Amino acid sequence: MDTPVEESWARISGWLARHAPVTAQAIRPPAGAAEVRRTEAVVGRPLPADLLAWWRLTDGIADADYRAGSPIPTHYLPLSTVDARRRFADLAPFANPDCCGPDGTHATTAGERLRGFCTATVPICRDLAGDLLVVDLRDGARHGGVLSWTAEDGCHPTGWAGTAAMLADTARRLDDPTRTEIVDGGTLQWR
DSSP for 55-101?
HTT---B-TT-GGG--SBTTTBEEPPHHHHHHHHHHHGGGB-TTTB-
- What is the structure's pLDDT at 63? 60
How many whole angstroms separate alpha carbon 128 and alpha carbon 42?
24
Say which residue, 67 or 22, is predicted with more confidence.
22
Q: For 113-145, how does the pLDDT look when each residue is reduced to its tens digit (9 = 90+)?
A: 999 899 999 999 999 888 999 999 999 999 999
- What is the structure's pLDDT at 65? 65
Which of 73, 86, 80 is CA-nearest to residue 58?
A: 80
Number of other CB atoms surrounding residue 49 within 10 Å:
13
Q: For 25-71, how does the pLDDT look when each residue is reduced to its tens digit (9 = 90+)?
A: 999 999 999 999 999 999 999 999 999 999 999 999 876 667 788 89
- What is the structure's pLDDT at 64? 63
- What is the structure's pLDDT at 54? 98
56: buried, middle or exposed (CB in 10 Å: 19+, 13-18, 0-12)? middle
How many whole angstroms separate alpha carbon 3 and alpha carbon 80?
23
Which of 72, 84, 116 is CA-nearest to residue 97?
A: 116
Number of other CB atoms surrounding residue 58 within 10 Å:
18
- What is the structure's pLDDT at 82? 94
Q: For 71-101, how does the pLDDT look when each residue is reduced to its tens digit (9 = 90+)?
A: 999 999 999 999 999 999 999 999 999 999 9
Q: Which contiguous run of DSSP H or E holds residue 110?
A: none
